[in-house]
Amino acid sequence: MDQPTPPVPDRVRGTINYTVDNGIPPDYYFYEPDPSVTLNPPGTDLREVEIRNGWPEVDRFDLDREGFVLKPFPAGFGPFDDDAAIRSGFYPQVEDFVKRNTGARRVVIFDHTIRRRLPADLKVQTEVQRPAVLLVHSDYTVASGPQRVRDLLPEEADELLGRRVAFYNVWKSLYEVVEELPLAMCDATSQGDGDMLRMELKYRERTGEIYVMRHAPQHRWIYFPHMTADQALLFKTYDSETDGRARFVGHSAFEDPNTPPNARKRESIEVRTMAFF
């Protein structure tokens, strides 16, 4: 794909919110915990890093090497304010997109999130409407990936988990060019297993887990400035294979220092999928 216009710099300096590795799993509560609880929040290690423009290398990236690719995506769908329409009309496009770019024989879409600038107050957020996440994370762990398959497909889980399973997220703009809060990807070849920290997600009825990341100077960050609605990032958040390919990709929105004061507010959708091979 051609680079966007107007021209963008080869690299920027941006702040990435890493997590301190203090030997205790960081946690995030989706409710107000008891005042006696000692919190260990993620994202408190802010680092200014170089984030490279990925457009000059856009055709080189590989899902099993760097862990992400940017590909064309049809921009014809419109009713992103209608959850039922998203599931009936947009999900089939995403399923086809993931199959076409991964070679998976089957793709199951299990949720989506519309991301806009919203207050940090959890009371204002919903299951579908969330703010952009300014935290380096990957959505699943070695434990929560397989557990998600068991939760959603209990009758088939044993058979499905006997073969390769990979989770991919599809991220794209709803309607406009992305002019603020772009998504940065950490090249999986630059991150080590020890950089991933298990974070506990505390719900009233259960505890889930994802990965956040500790800082390492060798991390290589990539973004694609001025993405349009007919392009989508496809990136991996879990892979059952342990043969050296990318398994988890750290990613985060960030404040682009080149964002103009009158930039259009970012509106994007992120769809989470399971791919079976």
State residue 131's pLDDT score. Answer: 44
Provide the 10 A C-beta neighbour count for residue 265.
Answer: 10
Which among 11, 1, 24, 2 is positioned nearest to 197, based on CA atoms?
Answer: 24
β-strands 11-18, 45-53: how paired? Answer: antiparallel
DSSP SS3 for 99: helix
Q: Is residue 143 part of a domain?
A: yes
Which among 252, 180, 245 is positioned nearest to 210, based on CA atoms?
Answer: 252
Q: Is residue 6 part of a domain?
A: no
Q: Is residue 83 part of a domain?
A: yes
Q: Is residue 74 part of a domain?
A: yes
Contact yes or no for 268/172 (Cβ under 8 A) = yes
> Residue 145: CB partners within 8 Å, gap ≥ 6?
165, 167, 237, 238, 240
The amino acid sitting at 144 is S
**Rounded-to-integer distance, Cα 266 and Cα 115, Å:** 8
Q: Is residue 243 part of a domain?
A: yes
Residue 69's beta-bridge partner residues? 234
DSSP SS3 for 235: strand
Q: Is residue 5 part of a domain?
A: no
Mean pLDDT, residues 74-84 taken together: 93
pLDDT surpassing 80 at residue 6 = no
| CA quadruple 70, 249, 116, 263: dihedral sign | negative
Mean pLDDT, residues 243-264 taken together: 95
What's the pLDDT tens digit per position in 104-119? 999 999 999 998 765 5
Cα distances (Å, whole numbers) of residue 3 to 14, 54, 67, 258: 21, 9, 21, 17
Q: Is residue 91 part of a domain?
A: yes
Mean pLDDT, residues 239-267 taken together: 95
Q: Is residue 162 part of a domain?
A: yes
The predicted model scores a pTM of 0.92
Structural domain including 24 reads: 11-276
Q: Which CATH number is 119's domain given?
A: 2.60.120
Contact yes or no for 275/168 (Cβ under 8 A) = yes
pLDDT surpassing 90 at residue 121 = no
> How many domains are contained in the chain?
1
Q: Backbone phi, then psi, for 241, in 5-degree steps?
A: -70, 140
Query: Which DSSP symbol is given to 56?
Result: G
Residue 48's beta-bridge partner residues? 15
What's the pLDDT tens digit per position in 136-179? 999 999 999 999 999 999 999 999 999 999 999 999 999 999 99
What's the pLDDT tens digit per position in 183-241? 999 999 999 989 999 999 999 999 999 999 999 999 999 999 999 999 999 999 999 99
Provide the 10 A C-beta neighbour count for residue 138.
Answer: 25
**Rounded-to-integer distance, Cα 129 and Cα 83, Å:** 11
Mean pLDDT, residues 86-106 taken together: 98
**Rounded-to-integer distance, Cα 269 and Cα 128, Å:** 9
Contact yes or no for 236/145 (Cβ under 8 A) = no
